[in-house]
Amino acid sequence: MSLIMSPILLADQLLRMAEDAEGVTFKDLGLADQLVDACEKLGWTTPLKIQAEAIPLALEGKDVIGLAQTGSGKTGAFALPILHALLEAPRPKHFFSLVLSPTRELAIQISEQFEALGAEIGVKCAVLVGGIDMVPQAVKIGKQPHIIVGTPGRVLDHLKNTKGFILNGLKYLVLDEADRLLNEDFEQSLHEILEAIPRQRRTFLFSSTMTKKVEKLQRVHLRNPVKIEAASKYSTVDTLKQQFRFLPAKHKDCYVVYILNEMAGSTSMVFTRTCDSTQLLALTLRNLGFKAIPINGHMSQSKRLGALNKFKSGDCNILLCTDVASRGLDIPTVDMVINYDIPTNSKDYIHRVGRTARAGGSGIAISLVNQYELEWYLQIEKLIKKKLPEYPAQEEEVLLLEERVSEAKRLSAMKLKENGGKRRRNGEGDIEGEYIEKYLGLKDGKSSKKFRRK
């Protein structure tokens, strides 16, 4: 039985991530012909809502605050007006715009979109993110790129240490996912960067939520900004089927395996609370013959990108992730989201399930709630203003898997433990261990065939 065959049409249909702005074209928005052509080449036939609203305001020279999430088309909403201004600008044009992002992956995706949209006009970008050698980045800076995209810590590092990297002429600043830029890790660097760049500039601030810190930031650093909203904040799309299952903690693995079996062939993201759980569960699933791969904050930049690429390319169809991966990553087709652990912050639920049922497609999100997580789950229902139906499954049928699942888990835990003795962390906090990486699919080599499903 395919669970996505009969999506329940839920009452409120907000957070439409790919809602077209009716009848308006990119040309109507006032963009230069080269950029209209570039959109066409990318298959962007019509501007998305956030683009239709933000681009004309940005072209008028306004500071813009956009309440929007990844998937809404916000990158185009800021990249296109910046590229338009770049085309029209007199020389010098280097270090024309700085885009700050909270994650390395998002920074890379943003830079890729700038390069794709600006291919015709020869735009040069540099990505400055942590976890990667600074020297090649400094070389890139030396080539005088037009657009710098980076995470605050690394950008500041280069501002302090890389000769010739001075942002005196900066014209555009973008603060992407500003709510996350203002967390403990980045806040100090962000403020230092804001001190080091010219006040005479345009600023675009995008955030999925308007927290008190974001309000304060915008009051101090934006000038008469216009606020636009891509969608209502805490709601879920009408084509998303959402279910929960209340179950004892010890049965979670069995349920995950059962659900993934039922949905065999679909692309799924399974969210866990800790980095270690992504590994243990990925290994368990691989032992059972699933094509699963973990992505989490303990992995180095290149491993994370490698895992993401395996998922994007279809080599692996199950991504085990922490909330690091719930935001910012450009993953176009996910059929199902499983909340293996219920997020303690209910807003994370919205971000997680936002990975499925995008652009009007259908999708399913299933939350496995144990006795300790009930409180958090009820908070989620309160936030989305819905009582969700229960995931229908015969417990006896699910528990038939118990023996094989616990054996696979026991062996996985053992392997991880053995590896724990050998592993060491490198300077970037990456877990190094040839042995386990091979089993996790992070290094070339096949997953263990020993425990494949019969």
List interacting residues with ligand AMP (CB under 6 A).
44, 47-48, 51, 70-76, 330, 332
Nearest distance from residue 305's CB to ligand AMP, in Å?
A: 16
> 330 or 432: whose CB is closer to ligand AMP?
330
> 213 or 312: whose CB is closer to ligand AMP?
312
Structure tokens at 387: 């009582």
Tally Cβ neighbours within 10 Å of residue 450.
9
Nearest distance from residue 119's CB to ligand AMP, in Å?
A: 14
Nearest distance from residue 171's CB to ligand AMP, in Å?
A: 21
Nearest distance from residue 116's CB to ligand AMP, in Å?
A: 8
Alpha-carbon distance values, 141 to 86, 100, 125, 167, 360 (Å): 18, 16, 9, 11, 40
> 206 or 349: whose CB is closer to ligand AMP?
206
Nearest distance from residue 41's CB to ligand AMP, in Å?
A: 12
Tally Cβ neighbours within 10 Å of residue 24.
17
> 31 or 288: whose CB is closer to ligand AMP?
31
> 3 or 331: whose CB is closer to ligand AMP?
331
HSE toward the beta carbon, residue 102, CA cutoff 13 A: 25
Nearest residue to ligand AMP on Cβ basis: 75
> 47 or 118: whose CB is closer to ligand AMP?
47
Nearest distance from residue 175's CB to ligand AMP, in Å?
A: 15
> 72 or 235: whose CB is closer to ligand AMP?
72
> 52 or 283: whose CB is closer to ligand AMP?
52
Nearest distance from residue 272's CB to ligand AMP, in Å?
A: 24
Q: CA 78 to CA 186: how far, in whole Å?
A: 22
> 99 or 128: whose CB is closer to ligand AMP?
99
Nearest distance from residue 44's CB to ligand AMP, in Å?
A: 4
Nearest distance from residue 332's CB to ligand AMP, in Å?
A: 6
Nearest distance from residue 333's CB to ligand AMP, in Å?
A: 11
> 46 or 301: whose CB is closer to ligand AMP?
46
Nearest distance from residue 48's CB to ligand AMP, in Å?
A: 5
> In b/e form, how buried is each residue of 416-448, taking b as 16+ CB within 10 angstroms?
beebeeebeeeeeebbebeebbebbbbeeeebb
CB 30, CB 85: distance < 8 Å: no
Nearest distance from residue 72's CB to ligand AMP, in Å?
A: 5
CB 359, CB 238: distance < 8 Å: no
> 72 or 268: whose CB is closer to ligand AMP?
72
> 75 or 278: whose CB is closer to ligand AMP?
75
**What does R_g of the chain's alpha carbons equal in angstroms?**
23
